[in-house]
Amino acid sequence: MNAPSPSLPAAALPSVADAVERVAASVVGIALRRGAAAGVVWRPGVVVTSASAMWRTRSVQLVLPGAEPVEGTLRGIDAGTDLAAIAFEGAAVPAVERAAAAAPRAGDFVFAVGREPSGLVQASFGHVGAAAGEWRSWRGGRVERLIRLDGGLYPGLAGAAVADASGQCIGIASPAFSRLHGVVLPVATVDRVLTALLTHGRVPQGYLGIAAQPVRATLDGAGTDGLLVSSVAEGSPAAQAGLLVGDVLVSAGGQAVASIEALRACLAEQIGGRLRLQVARGGQAQELLLDVAERPPSACH
């Protein structure tokens, strides 16, 4: 983290060094064609790292604690949360000790631990710059808690373990969502996404097959917020359900959808299910039934 080291009492420094060593026992280095990244052993034989660091990477070389190099197999990538899963075989490396229920606050001391391809451990110290509840990345990924660092990440710390003052991991470091601040993807997000990556190789997302934008519309004589449908993909679930360009999508599954984020949240748990849509068409209410499909790569909502 690109911030001055916090002022700690001299007596506390050895305990911080010990905490770094404990976390580092579960941190691997990742050698890339361009630069390097870090990864964290989250489950036996499974490393979690930053997906953006794995861009166009086919083969992955990991450097385990003790500087042992092993080949890794990329099991899946989720650009929405900037998380990737890598499987490996070789020496047993313990899964990182994590604080699943951690609720960091702005100002809390944290540190990041990475490993260079040479095997050298590197650590960076700073604070939580901002903290809040659930949010969605600009790539559409759901993140259970906002944990923003007070500075950026040093080179090689993408995918590093970020730990609290007790030495428990609170998440994975990502540089993908801000040029100025590193973000920590919390334990709950990593657990959820990792399960999907190991099962499917991706995080399935719901798909209607529309492009839409927020608008203020009239529904049965009253004003309402919704999403104006500007295009409908041919053969998509929306087309099959009878959704038309110019319709205003007001609710889905009984939930208001006044924003793209709200629509994504509604679709997230509905893949393969049937969804009831309320639409304003010419100012009059219409109800449509739609079968939610899984979103193809590069498709609209």
The three-state secondary structure class of 146 is: strand
B/e letters for 109-136, b = 16+ CB within 10 Å, e = fewer, are bbbbbbbbbeeebbbbbbbbbebeeeeb
Instruction: Please give the share of the chain, as a percent, with pLDDT higher than 70.
Output: 93
At 21 the pLDDT is 95
What CATH number is given for 10-200 in this structure? 2.40.10.120
Query: pLDDT tens digits, residue range 143-185?
Result: 999 999 999 999 999 999 999 999 999 999 999 999 899 999 9
The reply to whether domains 10-200 and 206-294 share a CATH topology is no
Structural domain 206-294, CATH architecture: Roll (2.30)
265 contacts: CB under 8 Å, gap ≥ 6? 136, 142, 255
Strands 161-164 and 109-115: antiparallel
- From residue 137, alpha-carbon distances to 80, 177, 240, 242, 270 in Å are 7, 7, 30, 30, 20
Per-residue pLDDT of 268-282, as tens digits, reads 667 888 999 999 998
Work out the widest C-alpha separation in the chain, in whole angstroms: 71
Q: What is the DSSP string of 248-296?
A: EEEEETTEE--SHHHHHHHHTT-TTSEEEEEEEETTEEEEEEEEPEEPP
Q: Please give the mean pLDDT across all residues of the chain.
A: 89
Q: Where are the domains of the chain?
A: 10-200, 206-294
The tokens for 48 are 């979690």
Confidence of residue 189 (pLDDT cuts 50, 70, 90): very high
